[in-house]
Amino acid sequence: MNATPQPMTAQLRQWILEQAAAGRPAPELIDAMQRSGWREEVAVNAVQQVLRQQLEQTAEQQGLPPASAVPEPALAGAPLFIDLGDRQVSVLMNLARPRVVLFGNLLAPEECQALIDAARPRLARSLTVATATGGEEINADRTSNGMFFQRGESPLVQRLEQRIARLLNWPLENGEGLQVLHYRPGAQYKPHYDYFDPQEPGTASILRRGGQRVATLVMYLNDPLQGGGTTFPEAFLEIGPRQGNAVFFSYERPHPSTGTLHGGAPVIAGEKWIATKWLRQGEFK
């Protein structure tokens, strides 16, 4: 490779593919390119472009569902903070595959408490979407209580929705209503995917409200005493719930190949409050 930045070439593409096939992770490839004189943003874009194209080719060969656009925070250049106008949010972790980003200070303590106070009187046993019918059902894998705010229901909800839309570069109207969940000791949500299974008979009616889910943002409203982390079993990753922080993950196709199997680990001591925002392909109605 040249010691100066250059456009994508067949040789560079082949080198990236060979290194990836040998098991070298993307950050190592980017570091190697930077040591050879490439600017960081050029190296990142090149590696992402080649690996994404390769992934799409492999997915097509395997007959996987087509990929769609997904929300993506502005993380080019590896910023430590993202300025959202009304708040400066920390970037605490950035994982490429599966696509997982941990943000710090997304919500102020008083915003967290205000969401809890507004949600508490409206809590009921949490339901899951029943893709077999297109409705909702009680699921033994999910033992929390929860409720949904209507989009734009209050000034607080409006402010948070605008902040999330700016953070994730995704239209506000493509978001479902904000959901608040309460987990007592022993409560959990066993590993699952957030997209709607395209093979299920009820999925078609669900998709009419805004298309597939393509990303999730889980915001932590309090600090449990013990347990309650968000787990990604296939990535051997667990995010500790800390008040004001939020974990984002996206899934470009409704298929396990996205690696976004995740769950809410059991609360061992104390209680856990979270707010979840699901993002759709199109306007959620």
Q: How is 193-221 classified by DSSP, letter by letter?
A: -SSPPTTSTTHHHHHTTTS-EEEEEEEE-
Mean pLDDT lowest among 9-13, 101-105, 169-173, 249-253: 9-13
Question: Is 4 a residue whose pLDDT tops 50?
Answer: no
Q: What contacts 24+ positions apart, CB below 8 Å, involve 203-206?
A: 203/131, 203/134, 204/134, 205/134, 206/129, 206/131, 206/134
Tens of pLDDT, residues 143-194: 889 999 999 999 999 999 999 999 999 999 999 999 999 999 999 999 999 9
| Average pLDDT across the chain, whole number | 91
List the domain boundaries for the chain: 10-61, 81-280
Nearest to 216 by CA among 182, 267, 261: 261
Question: How confident is the model over 212-230, as a mean pLDDT?
Answer: 98
Q: Report whether pLDDT(3) > 50.
A: no
**Contact indicator for 199, 131 with CB cutoff of 8 Å:** no
Instruction: Please state the φ and ψ torsions of residue 150, each to the nearest 5 degrees.
Output: -70, 150
For residue 7, pLDDT over 90 is answered with no
Residue 1 has pLDDT above 60, yes or no: no
Q: What digits encode the pLDDT tens for the residues 30-74?
A: 989 999 888 888 888 888 788 777 766 666 666 677 889 999 999
13 burial via Cβ count (<10 Å: 0-12, 13-18, 19+): middle
Q: How confident is the model at residue 230 (pLDDT cuts 50, 70, 90)?
A: very high
Per-residue confidence (pLDDT) for residue 6, from 0 to 100? 58
pLDDT number for residue 58 = 67
Cα–Cα distance, 111 to 220 (Å, whole number)? 11
Is 90 exceeded by the pLDDT of residue 110? Answer: yes
- What pLDDT does residue 60 have? 64
User: What is the pLDDT at residue 76?
Assistant: 84
Of 2.40.50.140, 1.10.150.120, 2.60.120.620, 2.40.30.10, the CATH number of 81-280 is 2.60.120.620
Kindly state the average pLDDT of the residues 21-31: 83
* Predicted pLDDT of residue 61: 65
Query: Does residue 5 carry a pLDDT above 50?
Result: no
Give percent of the chain with pLDDT exceeding 70.
94
CA 268 to chain centre: 25
Q: What is the pLDDT of residues 194-207, one digit of tens each?
A: 999 998 999 999 99
